[in-house]
Structure 1
């Protein structure tokens, strides 16, 4: 069983361990309990594990929304403060590290503090607790020849993972992970992968450059993908052309249809107050649309011009460039499962072919970034100051290590950089040969590790900070930034000047996050006695995720991923010490707050122009821990007219809280749910409420455009 439920040792309640997602959390009761197994069928929604306890109260250590249904499943109410009379109830609590459901026969009340959610029964009794892992496992692996027409048959089965064809499939927990695809001589489909007859067909020429961009549509629409000359989407009695502008139109279809499903789903099992539904300019019969079969509903969606929908669409989260090569077919289910916008560029600009325009910091020491912070770099690049050095020097005066290579300004000759076309999304991933500037270098082995069921041996999160240079000890203080969380336990260790043997042992150990501070060059990672080159060494890597905050650390980081890590942040060029230290501290804060690698680097780039020297390698969705909100929040705060605070909150999908999740802000002026991703604007909030809101969670705050944190906000306000 993937979920274990055990009594707490030092408090009253139970601890819930999800061995698939590697999460653990506590549920508190008002008395000691001994959980006993109960049938999973006790609960209205499906669960993986079910127990019953005798208690008068249930409390979880996070602010959540409590949804109450009658015994027959009818939704009665939801919120964070209300009472209900005697009755039989099914209760859901969200967010939680797993789906959490209660069932009991009693009147009850719901209350929240700034850190907890509590349900008090009118009289103690039996409470059933059900838990479902948020992990989504593929039903199997489809084997197919890699010619485009055979792959069309495989892509047509991606939608078999959908748990419904209703608009509720816009919830991430009702989509399921698509089946995997692997090359083979014959087309074979596992028994558990069964096609869904949605009535939607996608017609494209049998070429990779046409097939790859429609994989997210094929998955979300459970569509049959068939060969044809004119790219189009078809239903019974309607056709929607995908030309001109094929890739742009596929992206528009995904964004428009998904948004309209989120609006229509409020007519179904979840008739909640949804901000996007309340503010939409679309005058449509949403109840009728909800009841239509998928193909008919999609046809009516696409009758609405995209220009009429576009103003209310949020910035989409992810674009993935998948080069139109047969060796990239195994990445397609992962890309589709993230509902990524997909492009398939036939050509790409090598960095050395553009004359250095826009390359920024690659190419020489005169373009290193000693003092760059936010916004713009001076014309002609950013030079090193007299008191600055890079993390792998170009001269005896600048280096940290006696024998550093003299060829330190440029990236290793065997590394081919490519410049993908810019994207309109928050995040950008790249699948194919070459090292992409400003994009996540996604790799298949890292994505497969996302699916591996790891066993939880301890509830604590292990963070190891390694500093292998005396001059960089300031960044070693990031250890103080990890573990700034209530209800999440960290084991944090700082080690200095590791030898080559000690570094090998460290990399092979079971560490959740490695924060490396030191030198890297073409000989590998600098250690106290020599260098450790991960591209040559045969290591079994145990480190799950990492930041290699050193010069030109891409190849060493790529080797970590190939040998066992899920993903990490690396550098593409020399990095000067001061901005590298600043970035390291920002990343430490963000990973501690539950951000994934891609979103963390996105936030860091807003603050530091030198952030463009870094990219993510491997699975950019990797997190170290979950945020209290589930989703990732970035707060923009202004108080320009002194009449009240203006709060702008960006919400980003994160871990199991994917695209289509709902979130609410704990602000009196905003009582609605919001779709993730979204940008939420609230104005004229008084000092007391803003202070209370910021105290709820450790989140990044851009105060008048400058990055700060909840525990630092008073310091920066005092400077104004």
Structure 2
């Protein structure tokens, strides 16, 4: 079983461990309890594990929304403070590290503090607690020939994981993970993978450049994909063309249909006060749309011009570029499962063919050339004595003492410049090192599925500093573990030898923060270099930051040998901004951000952040954020009141379509994720109380700070 439930030893209540998601949390009671197994059918919604306890109260250590339904499942109340009379109730508490449901027969009251949510029963009695993991695993692996004519049959089955065809499939926990795909001589489909008859067909020419961009649509619509001449989507009695502008139109269909599903689902199991529903200018019969079959509903959605919907749409989170090559077919389920906008570029701009722009930086004969120096430092004046983490330069470097003949990255590496995106995050699948995008790899995505079966609930962080002059960044150890209810084991080590570094890399560490020198010989250690491309190395580290010059190839080697993902550099990096970025990444990872979103925030603060990219699975986290989603604040002051702009990003199990609400009096409505929420005229004290709830990154006057550092700050005129 993926979920273990045990009595607490030092308090009254239970501890819940989800071995798939690597999460553990505590549920408190008002007396000692002995949990006993109960049927999962005790609960209105599906659960993975259920126990019963005798108690008069249930409390969790986080601010949450409590949703109450009657015996038949009708929603009665939802909020963080109310009372209910005697009755039989099904209660959901969200957010929690797993889905958490209660069932009991009693009147009760709901109350919250700035850190807890509590349910007090009028009469103590039996309470059934149900838990469902937020993780979804593939039902099986489809084997298929990789030519486009054959591949359409496999892509047609990506939507087999949908647990409903209603608008509620816009919730991440009701979509499921698509089945995996692997090359084979003939199509073989596991018995557990059964097609869903949604009534939607997607017609595309049998070419990778047309097939790859529709994989997210095929998944989300449970659509049958068939070869044809004119790209289009079909339903019973309607057709929607996907040309001209094929890739842009597929992206628009995904964004528009998802948005409208999130609005329509308020007519179903979750009739919540959704901000986007209240704010929409679309004059539609949402109740009728909710009751329509998927294909008919989609047809009516697409009858609405995109221009009428576009102003309401949030900034989408992820674009993935997949080169139109057969070797990339195994990546398709992972990309579709993230609901990524997909492009399939046939041509790509190579940096050394880019009329010399950046060429000296990435392909120069030596680091002393003006173009190499300017690009590597991103505006930092090396001749002024700035200490950098790169090779032979006018000052000490993070690239050790690599010779001037060595390029910034090995000549084996080819840099590419993907087309810009209008999403928050950008991933690249295919040959080449993408400037400004996450270099995604198949082995890293597979490790996402294998990241379960934890043997311990504590999160391990290893900070390695292999240079005396970089000890300031070594203080990042103080930034890890600054969390309530999350236990960290943090170790700091200095000047490791090659053998000690080998042992450290092989250890079961959740996050490695490396500070020191790297060049094409490897990581510098106390007595030489350790090349991570060595086939004999064993890698146990899950995620990492290699905060040293030109660390791309060494980080890529970590991913190929066992890590899920990490952040690396493409060039020489000046020491002071590298130190600052290292501290930013440390706080963000400690706060539950994934690698891609963490680097996105760091780039807002530091222009030198563009010298870094993510390799492997950019969705990797080392712990959950307190709110589930990732939150970034922008504050501006107006006469002792504040304008608070909050960006909420999908994160881990809290994917696109999750709901969230801010604990501000002015913000009583829910929002679907991703969202950008603006709260105006927030009183000073109310803001300060709000910032006490969780430590999050925030920008004041466009400068990054943190909510726990907010004091009597006033924006300077």
Query: What TM-score bracket applies, with the shorter chain setting the length?
Result: over 0.9
Specify the alignment match of 1:68 in structure 2.
Answer: 68
State the 1:644 CA deviation. 1.4
Specify the alignment match of 2:678 in structure 1.
Answer: 681
State the 1:356 CA deviation. 3.7
| Partner deviation per Cα, 1:478-523 (whole Å, 9 max, x = no partner) | 0111111111111111000000000000000000000000000111
Are the equivalent residues in 2 in contact too, given 1:516–1:546 (CA < 8 A)? Answer: yes
Residues 1:651 and 2:657 are matched in the alignment: no
Specify the alignment match of 2:614 in structure 1.
Answer: 616
Specify the alignment match of 2:309 in structure 1.
Answer: 309
Specify the alignment match of 2:53 in structure 1.
Answer: 53
Distance in 1 between residues matched to 2:385 and 2:668, nearest whole Å: 52
Residue of 693, 700, 704 corresponding to 2:701:
704
State the 1:710 CA deviation. 1.2
Specify the alignment match of 2:419 in structure 1.
Answer: 421
State the 1:264 CA deviation. 0.3
Query: 2:382 aligns to what SS in structure 1?
Result: coil
Are the equivalent residues in 1 in contact too, given 2:390–2:571 (CA < 8 A)? Answer: no
Distance 1:359 1:627, change over 3 A: farther
| Partner deviation per Cα, 1:426-467 (whole Å, 9 max, x = no partner) | 000000000000000000000001111532222211111000
Are the equivalent residues in 2 in contact too, given 1:321–1:431 (CA < 8 A)? Answer: yes
Distance in 2 between residues matched to 1:9 and 1:719, nearest whole Å: 51
State the 1:711 CA deviation. 2.0
| Partner deviation per Cα, 1:263-282 (whole Å, 9 max, x = no partner) | 00000000000000000000
Residues 1:514 and 2:512 are matched in the alignment: yes
Specify the alignment match of 1:630 in structure 2.
Answer: 628
Are the equivalent residues in 1 in contact too, given 2:391–2:400 (CA < 8 A)? Answer: no
Are the equivalent residues in 2 in contact too, given 1:368–1:575 (CA < 8 A)? Answer: no
Residue of 457, 460, 481 corresponding to 2:458:
460
Distance 1:659 1:400, change over 3 A: closer
State the 1:530 CA deviation. 1.2
Specify the alignment match of 1:167 in structure 2.
Answer: 167
Query: 2:123 aligns to what SS in structure 1?
Result: strand
Question: Bigger CA drift: 538-547 or 468-477?
Answer: 538-547
Question: Bigger CA drift: 664-673 or 352-361?
Answer: 352-361
Are the equivalent residues in 1 in contact too, given 2:317–2:674 (CA < 8 A)? Answer: yes
State the 1:88 CA deviation. 0.5
Specify the alignment match of 1:297 in structure 2.
Answer: 297
| Partner deviation per Cα, 1:104-153 (whole Å, 9 max, x = no partner) | 11111111111111111111111100001111000000000001011000
Distance in 2 between residues matched to 1:408 and 1:371, nearest whole Å: 16
Count of residues in Structure 1 that have an aligned counterpart in Structure 2? 713
Specify the alignment match of 2:502 in structure 1.
Answer: 504
State the 1:369 CA deviation. 8.3
Specify the alignment match of 2:125 in structure 1.
Answer: 125
Specify the alignment match of 2:657 in structure 1.
Answer: 660
Aligned pairs for 1:279-298 within 5 A: 279-298=279-298
| Partner deviation per Cα, 1:7-51 (whole Å, 9 max, x = no partner) | 111111100011111111111111111110001111111111100
Specify the alignment match of 1:209 in structure 2.
Answer: 209
State the 1:397 CA deviation. 4.0
Question: Bigger CA drift: 455-464 or 576-585?
Answer: 455-464
Are the equivalent residues in 2 in contact too, given 1:653–1:676 (CA < 8 A)? Answer: yes
Query: 2:92 aligns to what SS in structure 1?
Result: strand
Distance 1:480 1:597, change over 3 A: same
| Partner deviation per Cα, 1:550-575 (whole Å, 9 max, x = no partner) | 00000110010011100000000111
Are the equivalent residues in 2 in contact too, given 1:371–1:579 (CA < 8 A)? Answer: no
Distance in 1 between residues matched to 2:679 and 2:490, nearest whole Å: 37
Distance 1:402 1:73, change over 3 A: closer
Are the equivalent residues in 2 in contact too, given 1:394–1:408 (CA < 8 A)? Answer: no
| Partner deviation per Cα, 1:219-249 (whole Å, 9 max, x = no partner) | 0000000010000000011000000000000
Aligned pairs for 1:150-165 within 5 A: 150-165=150-165
Distance in 1 between residues matched to 2:373 and 2:14, nearest whole Å: 51
Query: 1:510 aligns to what SS in structure 2?
Result: coil
Specify the alignment match of 1:671 in structure 2.
Answer: 668
Are the equivalent residues in 1 in contact too, given 2:400–2:519 (CA < 8 A)? Answer: no
Specify the alignment match of 1:22 in structure 2.
Answer: 22
State the 1:391 CA deviation. 1.4
Are the equivalent residues in 1 in contact too, given 2:701–2:715 (CA < 8 A)? Answer: no
Are the equivalent residues in 2 in contact too, given 1:370–1:385 (CA < 8 A)? Answer: no
Specify the alignment match of 1:713 in structure 2.
Answer: 710
Distance in 1 between residues matched to 2:374 and 2:148, nearest whole Å: 49
State the 1:643 CA deviation. 4.7
Q: Deviation above 3 Å: which 4+ runs of structure 1?
A: 358-373, 399-403, 715-720
State the 1:539 CA deviation. 1.9
Distance in 2 between residues matched to 1:231 and 1:400, nearest whole Å: 51
Are the equivalent residues in 1 in contact too, given 2:5–2:16 (CA < 8 A)? Answer: yes
Residue of 680, 687, 690 corresponding to 1:690:
687
Specify the alignment match of 1:545 in structure 2.
Answer: 543
Distance in 1 between residues matched to 2:12 and 2:343, nearest whole Å: 52
TM-score when normalising by structure 2: 0.97
Query: 1:50 aligns to what SS in structure 2?
Result: strand
Are the equivalent residues in 1 in contact too, given 2:631–2:647 (CA < 8 A)? Answer: yes
How well do the aligned residues superpose, as a CA RMSD in angstroms? 1.7
| Partner deviation per Cα, 1:346-370 (whole Å, 9 max, x = no partner) | 0000001113436796454556789
Are the equivalent residues in 2 in contact too, given 1:468–1:498 (CA < 8 A)? Answer: yes
Query: 1:121 aligns to what SS in structure 2?
Result: strand
State the 1:395 CA deviation. 3.9
Specify the alignment match of 1:145 in structure 2.
Answer: 145
Query: 1:115 aligns to what SS in structure 2?
Result: coil
Are the equivalent residues in 2 in contact too, given 1:321–1:430 (CA < 8 A)? Answer: yes
**Residue ranges of structure 1 left out of the alignment (5+ in a row):** none
Specify the alignment match of 1:241 in structure 2.
Answer: 241
Specify the alignment match of 1:573 in structure 2.
Answer: 571
Are the equivalent residues in 2 in contact too, given 1:663–1:674 (CA < 8 A)? Answer: yes
Residue of 408, 411, 430 corresponding to 2:409:
411
Are the equivalent residues in 2 in contact too, given 1:371–1:382 (CA < 8 A)? Answer: no
Distance in 2 between residues matched to 1:467 and 1:407, nearest whole Å: 27
Specify the alignment match of 1:345 in structure 2.
Answer: 345
Question: Bigger CA drift: 109-118 or 389-398?
Answer: 389-398
Distance 1:509 1:389, change over 3 A: same
Distance 1:662 1:350, change over 3 A: same
Specify the alignment match of 2:473 in structure 1.
Answer: 475
Distance 1:685 1:107, change over 3 A: same
State the 1:540 CA deviation. 2.1
Distance in 1 between residues matched to 2:300 and 2:545, nearest whole Å: 47
State the 1:72 CA deviation. 1.3
Specify the alignment match of 1:92 in structure 2.
Answer: 92
State the 1:642 CA deviation. 1.6
Specify the alignment match of 1:561 in structure 2.
Answer: 559
Query: 1:473 aligns to what SS in structure 2?
Result: helix
Specify the alignment match of 2:266 in structure 1.
Answer: 266
Query: 1:474 aligns to what SS in structure 2?
Result: helix
Are the equivalent residues in 2 in contact too, given 1:204–1:232 (CA < 8 A)? Answer: yes
Are the equivalent residues in 1 in contact too, given 2:399–2:550 (CA < 8 A)? Answer: no
Distance in 1 between residues matched to 2:399 and 2:611, nearest whole Å: 22
Are the equivalent residues in 1 in contact too, given 2:391–2:519 (CA < 8 A)? Answer: no
Distance in 1 between residues matched to 2:620 and 2:57, nearest whole Å: 35
